[in-house]
Structure 1
Amino acid sequence: MAEDAQGVTPGTAQDRTGQVRDVRDEHVPGNVLVSIGALLLGMLLAALDQTIVSTALPTIVSELGGMDHLSWVVTAYLLASTAATPLWGKLGDQYGRKTLFQIAIVIFLIGSALCGAAQDMFQLIGFRALQGLGGGGLMVLSMAIVGDLVPPRERGRYQGLFGAVFGATSVLGPLLGGLFTEHVSWRWVFYVNLPVGVVALAVIATVLRIPRKSMPHVIDYLGTFLIASVATCLVLVASLGGTTWNWGSPQIAGLAVLGVVLAVVFVAVERRAAEPVLPLKLFRIRTFTLSAVISFVVGFAMFGAMTYLPTFLQVVQGVSPTLSGVHMLPMVFGLLLASTVSGQIVSRTGRWKVFPIAGTGVTTLGLLLLHQLDEHSSTIEMSGYFFVFGLGLGLVMQVLVLIVQNAVSYEDLGVATSGATFFRSIGASFGVAIFGTIFAGRLGEKLADAFRGAQLPPGVSVDALEADPRGLAALPPALRPPAVQAYASSITDVFLYAAPVALLGFVLAWFLKEDRLRGSVTAPDVTETLASNPVERSSHDEVCRALSVLGTREGRREIYVKITERAGYDLLPGASWLLLRIKKFGRVEPAVLTEHSTVPLTVVMEAGRQLEERHLALRTGLDLVLTEQGREVAERLAQTREESLAELLGDWWAPDRPTDLAQLVKELNEELCGSDAERPQDERAMPHLT
C-alpha cells in the first residue's frame, strides 16, 4: 500500500508520541452507513405498505366499486409476499443478495405504479399481488444484507434501527394513508413509493459493496408453489363462499376439494424435499404446533380488525380519512407498549407462559368490546376499546417467536422461526378474507331489512350502497340512520364472529409447556414480531442475531463485574475493561482512550493505577502495555466471556454442537473482548463503569 507525503500509510494516524496507529476502523465507513440507510428505505417501503392502505380502502372501493372485494386488496399483498419470502432468502444466498435486492425493489416499484394507475378493483388486486412479490424480497434481503455489512458485534445496533422503522410505520402508516387520500388522491398511497424507491435503488447500485458468497441450496420450488396454492384455495373459499358463490355451489366445493388435494400433495413432497420450505417434523413438537395455531389466531384478529376499523370510522362515524388514522393510534400504541414491556419482562424473569394466555384473553375481550361499538359511540369509548385490543395483541406477539425458538433444536431454529411467522401471515390473510365475507354477507341482508317497504330515490339501490358507501349521503334524512346502522352492525358483527377464534387461542395457550429459557432467545427481533411477512433466516443467522443483541449490552458495568468474579480475580470492573482494551491494541494511552469513550478519565486512570500496582501493565512513555502476567489475566477474562456466551445457548451448546455454532461464539467473543476486528467507535457505546 502506498504511503502519503508524510510517510504514513493511508488509513493510519500518528498519536501525540509519534506512534503510528491504525484508525481505519475508528468510524463506521461512510459507504456502509449510506448503504444501511438505503436498506432502511427499502424496509420502510415494504413495512409502510402493510399499514398505509387501510385508511385509504373506503375511498378506493367507493371510487373503483366492489366493497365485497375490499379484503382482497390486502389479502393479495399478504399471500404474494408470504409465498415469495422463502424463495427470496435462498435465491439471495445462491446468486448474491445485492442483485436480488435490486430486483425486489424494481418489482415493488412496478407494482406500486400499476396499483396507482388501476382502473378497477380486479386490476388493483392483481397489481397488489405483484407489489407483494417485491415486498417479500425487501423484507428478507434488507435484514440479510445488514449481516453481510457489519460484524456480529455491531448488528444489534442496526437491528434496533430496523425495529424502529417497523414501529414508526405502525404509527405513520394509517396517518399518511388518510392524509394522501383526503388531500391529494388515494393513488398517491402507492405513488409515494416511487421517489423513495428510486433513491434506494440508486444508492444500492452505486454504494453497496458486499462480499459475493455463493451458498448453494436445493430450493423447494414445488413445496413453495404448493403451500401458496393451498393457502390461496382456502382463502378463496373463505372470501367467495356465501357472497360471490353459494356455500354449496360447485365452484366453492371444487376449490375446497382442490385445496385438500394440494395439501396432501404438499405433505408428500415435503417428506422427500432436501430443504423443505416447512419441515413436517416440526409439528411433532407440541410447543411449535400450538404456537403456530396461536400465531395464526393473532394474525387473523390483527389484520382483520386493522382492515375494517377504518371503514367503520369513515362510513359509520363519518370521520375523515386522516382522522380515522388518528383514531387508530390507541390500538397501535397499545400493541407497541405491550409488546415492548412483555419482551423486557420475559428477558429479565425467564417466565413467559402468562403472556400468551393473557394476550389471547385480552384480545378476545377486545373483540367483544369492538362488537359493542355503533354510530353513537364516543371517541373516548372507541379509543379505550382500540387500546384494549392492541394491548392483547402486543402481549402475545412478542413472545410467540421466543417460545418457538426455545422449543426446537439448533438445526431447526431457522425454519421454526420462519414457520411461526409464516402461520401469522397466513392467519392475517384468512382474517381479512373471512372478515370481508361476513361483512359483505351481513351488509346486504341488513340494508335490505332497513329499506324494506321504503321508497328509495332514483339511482339508489341496496346493491349500489353495498358497492359504494358514498351513496349514503344521497339518502333522504329518514332513511340515512337505518342505513348507517346497517353498516355499523355489519362491521361490528365481524368482531363478534372473530371472538371465538381468539378464544380458541386462549384455550390452546394453557396447554403450552413453560420450558426454561435459553439466554440467547430472550431478545426477540422486532421485525419478527410486528411484520406480517414471515422471516427467512438460517439457524446460524438467528443465533448470531440474538447473541449480537445481547452483545450490545457488553459495556454495562455488571458484565465486567460478572466476568471478573467468574475468572477469579479481584479487580475493578474498569481494570478488567482496560485489560481487554490493551489486549486489543497492544498498547493504550489512557488520556487518548477517554477521548473515544464515555468512560470518565478518573475511572480510566484509577483502573490504570491498579493494573500497574498489580504488575499487570507497565508504562512505556504515555502508553500502558501488558506484562506477561497481564496477558495471562486478559486471556482468562476473554475465555470467561466466551464461556458466558456459550452458556446463553443452553442445551444447543452440547458436546456434539455444530462446528458453525462453535465458530460463531469464538468470533463474537473475539470482537466483544478485544480483537483487532473490533472498532474503536464501540468504546463510545461503553457504559459508565463507576
Structure 2
Amino acid sequence: MSQARNKVGVIIAGLLLAILMASMDNTIVATAMGTIVGEIGGLDKFVWATSAYMVAEMTGMPIFGKLSDMYGRKRFFVFGIVVFMIGSALCGMAESIIQLSLFRAIQGIGAGAMVSIAFTIMFDVVPPESRGKMTGMFGALFGLSSVAAPLLGGYITDYLHWIWIFYINLPLGLIAFILIVFFYKESAEHSKQKIDYLGCLLLVGAIICLMFAIELGGKAYAWGSSQILGLFVGFVFFSILLVFVEKRAAEPIISFRMFRIRLYTTTNLVAMLSGATFMTASMFIPIYIQGVYGGTATNAGLILLPMMVSSVVTATVGGFLMSKLPYRAILIPTLAILAIGMALLTTLTTESSRFLITIYMILVGLGIGASFSVLSSAAIHSFPAAQRGAATSTMNFNRSLGMTLGITIFGIIQSHSLTDRLTEAFGKSGGTKILADVDFNDPHVLLNPAIRQTMDGNTLNTITEGLSSSIVGTFAWSLIPAVLALSAAFIMSREKLDPNVEADGYAASH
C-alpha cells in the first residue's frame, strides 16, 4: 500500500509541475514583453506573441481532452510536455518577434494538452477519499500561478535575462516527463473511435477569429474596422457551423450533449463568469496601487499576495468539503463573498488606506478559491471515466475564455473611462497630449516614477483621480459576472462527491 501511495505522490508531483508551467507561461511573458521587444524588435507585432500562445492552448484543450478519452491519457500528456519543452527552448533562441510568435504557438499546443489532461489523470490515480484534498491542491496552484507569474516574470527579467522565462521550463519539464513516464501506469481501457476532423477545423477557426479579434481590437485596428468586424463575423460563422456539425458527429470534439446535464452546464457557467471577475481584480488592483499610491511595479504586484493566500485557503477547504456537502452548498457562500469583495472595491477612493484594500483583496481571494477546486470535480461528476477528459478540458476551456474576455472587455471599459475623464479635465488638446506621453494600455509604463516626476502637482492629482475613478467604475461593471456566477451556483443541482460510488469505479479500473 505504501509503495502504491508513493507512486501516486510522485505522479501528482509531475502533474503539478506541468500545470504550473502551462498556467504561468501566458502571464509570465507579459511582464517581460517590453524588455523582449526592446532587444529583438517588433513593437508593432508583439501582440502576436501573446495571441499565438492563447489561441493554440485554448484550441488544444477540448481536442486533446477528447483524444485522451479515445486513446489514453498518458501518451497525449507526455506529448504535451515534450512539445512545451521544445517550444520553450525555441522561444529562448528567437531572434525576431515573428519567430517568437511561432515558437509561442508551439508552446501553446503543449500547454493545451497538459492542462486538459492533468486533472483527469489525477482523478484516475487518486483514491476517492483523497480526491477532495488533491483537487484543492490542484485548484490552489492554478489560482496561485495566475497571479504569481507576473511577479516571477518581472524578477527574472530584472535580475537574470528574459530568455530564462522560457529556459526555466526545461528542467521543470524534464522532471515532470520522468515522473509521468516512469510512474504513471495507465490501466483504464479506451475505445478507439473516429476522430472528428471537421469539428477540429471549425473549432480552430472559431478560436483563431475570436482571439485575434480580442487581441488586435483597439490596438492594431479600431474596433469598428473591417478587419476586426470580419474576425467577429468569422467567429460567429465558424461557431454556428461547429454546433451544427458537432450535433451530428458520432464522436464530437465538443459534445453538446454534455450540456443537457444541469450540473455540468451550471459548472461551466460559474467557471466562465467567476474567471472574468477574478482576472479583473487581479489586473487592476496592482495598477491602482502603482498609479494612485505611486508604488513601484514590484510593490503593486505584492498587493496580490493576500488574495493568493486566501484563495489557497478556500480552495483547500472546498476540496475537503466536497464529500460532505453538495457542490452548490460550497460555491454559493464563497461566490457571495466574491461579489461582496468586488462590491467593496467599488467604494475605493484616493484616500482609501492600503490596509482597507488588503482586506478587500482577501475577501476576493476567499470568494474565488473554492471554484478552483470544486468546479473540476463537479465538471466530471456525471460522466464515466471514458468521458472525463472531454468534460474537464471543456470546462477549463470555458474558464480560460471567461478570463480572456474579462481582461479584454473590462480593459476596454477602463481605458475609455480614463480617456474620457482626462479629456474632460484637460480639454481635448491637453488630454491628447497627456495620453500621448503616457501609454495607459501598459500598466508597467503607466505613471512610473520617472513620468510622475515630470508632472506638476495639479496634473498628477487630476490623473490620479481619473485613474482611480475609472478603475473603481470598472470594478462596478465586473459585479455583473460576479452576480451571474452566484446565480448560476443557485441553480446547480444538489450532487456531491460520493466516495463510495467513486470507489467502485476506482477499484474496477485498478
Instruction: In structure 2, give the amino acid aligned to 1:197.
Output: G
TM-score normalised by length of structure 1 = 0.60
> How far is 1:502 from its partner?
2.0
1:480 aligns with 2:456: no
Question: Structure 1 pair 195/312, CA: closer, same or farther in 2 (3 Å)?
Answer: farther
Write the distance in 1 (CA, Å) between the matches of 2:23 and 2:422. 36
Contact kept, 8 Å, 1:109 with 1:194, in 2: the verdict is yes
> How far is 1:271 from its partner?
1.5
Larger Rg: 1
SS in structure 2 at match of 1:515? coil
Equivalences for residues 118-157 of structure 1 within 5 A? 127-141=103-117
Write the distance in 2 (CA, Å) between the matches of 1:297 and 1:438. 17
Write the distance in 2 (CA, Å) between the matches of 1:73 and 1:385. 33
Q: Deviations 1:339-385 (Å, cap 9, x if unpaired)?
A: 3323434422x344344433333323322333344555432122111
Instruction: In structure 2, give the amino acid aligned to 1:510.
Output: F
Question: Structure 1 pair 305/110, CA: closer, same or farther in 2 (3 Å)?
Answer: farther
> How far is 1:391 from its partner?
1.7
The aligned counterpart of 2:228 is 252
Q: Mind listing any 5+ residue stretches in structure 2 that lack a counterpart?
A: none
Contact kept, 8 Å, 1:242 with 1:441, in 2: the verdict is no
> How far is 1:198 from its partner?
4.5
**How many percent of aligned residue pairs carry the same amino acid?**
34
Write the distance in 2 (CA, Å) between the matches of 1:484 and 1:406. 48
Write the distance in 1 (CA, Å) between the matches of 2:3 and 2:13. 16
Give the one of 56, 72, 81 matched to 1:105.
81
Question: Structure 1 pair 443/118, CA: closer, same or farther in 2 (3 Å)?
Answer: farther
SS in structure 2 at match of 1:347? coil
Give the one of 416, 428, 432 matched to 2:407.
432
The aligned counterpart of 2:364 is 389
TM-score normalised by length of structure 2 = 0.78
Question: Structure 1 pair 489/115, CA: closer, same or farther in 2 (3 Å)?
Answer: farther
Equivalences, count? 501
Contact kept, 8 Å, 2:332 with 2:490, in 1: the verdict is yes
Question: Structure 1 pair 141/255, CA: closer, same or farther in 2 (3 Å)?
Answer: closer
Q: Mind listing any 5+ residue stretches in structure 1 that lack a counterpart?
A: 1-24, 522-542, 548-644, 646-660, 669-690
Instruction: In structure 2, give the amino acid aligned to 1:362.
Output: I
Q: Deviations 1:293-326 (Å, cap 9, x if unpaired)?
A: 2221012112333234333334444434443343
The aligned counterpart of 2:288 is 312
> How far is 1:72 from its partner?
7.5
Instruction: In structure 2, give the amino acid aligned to 1:493.
Output: G
Give the one of 473, 480, 487 matched to 1:500.
480
Question: Structure 1 pair 54/309, CA: closer, same or farther in 2 (3 Å)?
Answer: farther
The aligned counterpart of 1:180 is 156
Give the one of 444, 448, 463 matched to 2:436.
463
Write the distance in 2 (CA, Å) between the matches of 1:666 and 1:95. 19
Q: Which of the two has greater helix per residue?
A: 2
Write the distance in 1 (CA, Å) between the matches of 2:136 and 2:334. 24
Give the one of 498, 502, 507 matched to 1:519.
498
Contact kept, 8 Å, 1:68 with 1:436, in 2: the verdict is no
| More relative contact order, 1 or 2 (CA 8 Å, 6+ apart) | 2
Write the distance in 2 (CA, Å) between the matches of 1:147 and 1:510. 26
Question: Structure 1 pair 257/37, CA: closer, same or farther in 2 (3 Å)?
Answer: closer
Instruction: In structure 2, give the amino acid aligned to 1:472.
Output: I
The aligned counterpart of 1:281 is 257
The aligned counterpart of 1:85 is 61
Q: Deviations 1:98-137 (Å, cap 9, x if unpaired)?
A: 6644543343234334555668877766554432221122
Equivalences for residues 191-270 of structure 1 within 5 A? 191-198=167-174, 200-201=176-177, 203=178, 215-238=191-214, 240-241=216-217, 244-270=220-246
Write the distance in 2 (CA, Å) between the matches of 1:88 and 1:168. 24
Question: Structure 1 pair 97/189, CA: closer, same or farther in 2 (3 Å)?
Answer: same
Question: Structure 1 pair 298/83, CA: closer, same or farther in 2 (3 Å)?
Answer: same
Please provide the CA RMSD for this pair. 4.5
SS in structure 2 at match of 1:353? helix
SS in structure 1 at match of 2:295? coil
Write the distance in 1 (CA, Å) between the matches of 2:495 and 2:134. 29
1:367 aligns with 2:337: no
SS in structure 2 at match of 1:452? helix
Q: Deviations 1:62-106 (Å, cap 9, x if unpaired)?
A: 999999999887665444222212333455577776664454334
Equivalences for residues 501-580 of structure 1 within 5 A? 501-512=481-492, 514-517=493-496, 519-520=498-499, 546-547=502-503
Write the distance in 1 (CA, Å) between the matches of 2:341 and 2:30. 19
